[in-house]
């Protein structure tokens, strides 16, 4: 089977890496890919925006590609699956109607309210309701802060603002509605109650009728150790999450994930692809923070290395509505992924810094280095974005996996490289519950 992977990040490198081990794969292509993916796939440099979907289809037809896997959310929200479907091409991911779960926070909040799916309390305001939003915040008692302001549409991971005070919340509303920082994604906002707890990511394979949960993972969103500093796209991840009891896991599935899937069917949405639930657990009870319509990044880099089943076979079955008899097989190993980011990230990012040490790790069986923001610079590989690389390792214990990763990271050098040193630290000894 000829397979195309759409995207250029660590998640897509990990998907291509896993697909390369499939019994069914003949050749892998990537659009646009990155230098890491280029070691596994033939890459074609097309910017994956809506205007270029027809160019992507032409590439699929020219190369005789049998199956396409979409990594990032934007093309899904923009309807790439619908466009492929109309041309009779097989593709993995939800259609536009399904991708609205990530494309509109207001839609998801309304769905949760209608079907009584536990989620933090919230109020939604349109741009034309700016005064109502301000009045709502104005009347909130000081002890109701922080609050969370979320823009409705996609915002490349930057659309969630935690406002510690009334002033910060009013300023966030101004950024959305007056300064237009998020463009049309900020036409609508959700003001959500802040919940204190720990977060989990649960990715589920969906074929339109059946849903199969994958293993749990945890993502580290803050830039600095001990969850300090600004939010990022994710600075590391690990799987499994050993402190989650069977009871809590069952609650997540039975109160949130399965009812959502049923709700989607009732709303006439045949959801195929990954349904990624971002869950917060407060005082032992799970609540839905957000849904994403694709694999998580960097959770994927800690989940897929543990998957023994053939990923390509699973994704093809999802797209074809044939998951019902499928069982997933997982390694008991612990997997950890640590992200290396460029200078200035997340406020800015540095490009063009030469990365040294990658060759030393190429044949290291203990470590897989996934490229995220990298590019060729003559015969070198250089940084090309905020999150640059992710090093993943699996081992019988988190301690061993961490040791292997941090030993490997010592070999990688680029100017301004930053990474967290506490990924999966104390998971077993000092869990958050
Ligand atoms: N790790 C968060 C995300 O993929 O959105």
Q: pLDDT confidence of 249, banded at 50, 70, 90?
A: very high
Structure tokens at 341: 């980011």
Cβ atoms of residues 302 and 239 within 8 Å:
yes
d(CA 372, ligand 1 centre) in Å: 14
Q: Please give the distance, rounded to the nearest whole angstrom, from the Cα atom of residue 218 to the centre of ligand 1.
A: 10
Confidence (pTM): 0.97
Fold identical between 2-89 and 121-193? no
Ligand 1 center to 4 CA (angstroms): 22
Question: Ligand 1: which residue has its CA nearest to atom 5?
Answer: 296
Q: How confident is the model at residue 267 (pLDDT cuts 50, 70, 90)?
A: very high
Q: What is the mean pLDDT of residues 116-139?
A: 97
pLDDT digits (tens, 9 = 90+) for 373-404: 999 999 999 999 999 999 999 999 999 999 99
Would you say residue 164 has pLDDT above 90?
A: yes
Of 302, 281, 261, nearest to 120 (Cα)?
281
| Residues shown for the chain | 433
Q: So what's the pLDDT on residue 402?
A: 97
Task: Supply the pLDDT for residue 158.
Answer: 86
Tell me if residue 239 falls in helix, strand or coil: strand
Residues with CB under 6 A from ligand 1: 219, 234, 292, 296-297, 299
Cβ neighbours for 213, distance < 8 A, ≥ 6 positions apart: 202, 203, 204, 253, 257
Mutate to test the pocket of ligand 1, among 233, 236, 289, 423 (most ligand atoms within 8 A of CB): 233
Could you tell me which of 212, 218, 196, 216 has the C-alpha nearest to residue 145?
196
d(CA 298, ligand 1 centre) in Å:
7
Residue 337 predicted with pLDDT over 80: yes
What's the burial of 255, exposed, middle or buried (CB within 10 Å: 0-12/13-18/19+)? middle
What residue's CA is closest to ligand 1, atom 4?
296
pLDDT value for 433 = 58
Question: Is the pLDDT at 13 greater than 70, yes or no?
Answer: yes
Going by alpha carbons, the residue nearest to atom 3 of ligand 1 is 296
Instruction: Provide mean pLDDT across the span 237-262.
Output: 97
* Nearest residue to 292 (alpha-carbon basis) of 34, 63, 76, 46: 76
Q: Which CATH architecture has domain 198-427?
A: 2-Layer Sandwich (3.30)
Residue 250 CA, chain-centre distance (Å), reads 22
Query: Is domain 121-193 annotated with CATH 3.30.1330.10?
Result: no
Does the pLDDT value for residue 156 go beyond 90? no
Residues 300-330 pLDDT 10s = 999 999 999 999 999 999 999 999 878 899 9
Q: Report the mean per-residue pLDDT for the chain.
A: 96
Q: How confident is the model at residue 363 (pLDDT cuts 50, 70, 90)?
A: confident
The pLDDT > 90 percentage for the chain reads 94
Mean pLDDT, residues 327-340: 97
What are the φ/ψ torsions at residue 309 (nearest 5 degrees)?
A: -70, 160
Q: Which CATH architecture has domain 2-89?
A: 3-Layer(aba) Sandwich (3.40)
Of ligand 1's atoms, which has the minimum distance to the CA of residue 157? Answer: 5
59-114 pLDDT, tens digit each:
999 999 999 999 999 999 999 999 999 999 999 999 999 999 999 999 999 999 99
**Residue ranges covered by each domain of the chain:** 2-89, 121-193, 198-427
pLDDT band at 147 (very low <50, low <70, confident <90, very high): very high
Structure tokens at 332: 């008991």
How confident is the model over 18-39, as a mean pLDDT? 98
Span from the CA of 204 to the centroid of ligand 1 (angstroms):
14
Tell me: pLDDT of 428 over 90: no
The Å distance, Cα 1 to ligand 1 centre, comes to 29
pLDDT confidence of residue 391: 98
Q: What is the C-alpha to C-alpha distance for residues 412 and 423, in angstroms, rounded to an integer?
A: 17
Q: Where do we find the tokens 């934007």?
A: 74
Q: What is the pLDDT of residue 245?
A: 96
């Amino acid at each position: 089977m000829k397979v195309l992977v759409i995207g250029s990040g660590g998640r897509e490198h990990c998907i291509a890496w896993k697909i390369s081990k499939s019994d069914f794969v003949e050749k892998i292509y990537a659009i646009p890919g990155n230098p890491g993916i280029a070691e596994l796939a033939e890459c074609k440099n097309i910017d994956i925006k809506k205007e270029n979907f027809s160019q992507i289809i032409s590439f699929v037809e020219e190369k005789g590609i049998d199956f396409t896997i979409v990594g990032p959310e934007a093309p899904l929200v923009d309807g790439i699956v619908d466009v492929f479907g109309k041309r009779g091409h097989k593709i993995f991911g939800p259609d536009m109607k399904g991708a609205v779960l990530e494309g509109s926070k207001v839609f998801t909040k309304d769905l949760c309210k209608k079907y009584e799916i536990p989620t933090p309390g919230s109020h939604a305001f349109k741009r034309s309701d700016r005064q109502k939003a301000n009045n709502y915040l104005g009347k909130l008692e000081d002890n109701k802060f922080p609050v969370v302001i979320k823009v409705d549409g996609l915002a490349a991971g930057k659309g969630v603002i935690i406002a510690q005070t009334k002033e910060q919340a009013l300023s966030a509303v101004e950024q959305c509605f007056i300064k237009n920082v998020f463009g049309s994604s900020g036409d609508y906002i959700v003001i959500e109650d802040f919940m204190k707890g720990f977060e989990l990511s649960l990715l589920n394979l969906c074929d339109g009728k059946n849903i199969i949960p994958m293993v749990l993972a945890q993502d580290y969103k803050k830039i600095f150790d001990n969850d300090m500093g600004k939010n990022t796209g994710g600075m590391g991840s690990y799987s499994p999450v050993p402190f989650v009891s069977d009871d809590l896991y069952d609650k997540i599935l039975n109160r949130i994930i399965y009812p959502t899937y049923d709700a989607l069917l009732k709303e006439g949405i045949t959801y195929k692809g990954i349904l990624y639930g971002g869950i917060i657990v407060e005082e032992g009870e799970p609540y839905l923070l957000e849904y994403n319509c694709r694999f998580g990044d960097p959770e994927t880099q800690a989940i897929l290395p543990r998957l023994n089943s053939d990923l390509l076979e699973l994704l093809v079955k999802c797209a074809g509505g044939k998951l019902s008899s499928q069982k997933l097989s997982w390694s008991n190993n612990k997997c950890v992924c640590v992200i290396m980011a460029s200078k200035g990230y997340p406020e800015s990012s540095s490009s063009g810094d030469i990365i040294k040490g990658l060759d030393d790790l190429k044949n290291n069986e203990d470590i897989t280095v996934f490229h995220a923001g990298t590019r060729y610079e003559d015969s070198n590989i250089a940084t090309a974005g905020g999150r640059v690389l992710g090093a993943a390792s699996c081992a019988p214990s988190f301690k061993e996996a961490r040791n292997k990763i941090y030993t490997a990271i010592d070999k990688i050098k680029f100017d301004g490289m930053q990474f967290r040193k506490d990924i999966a630290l104390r998971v077993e000894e000092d869990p958050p519950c």
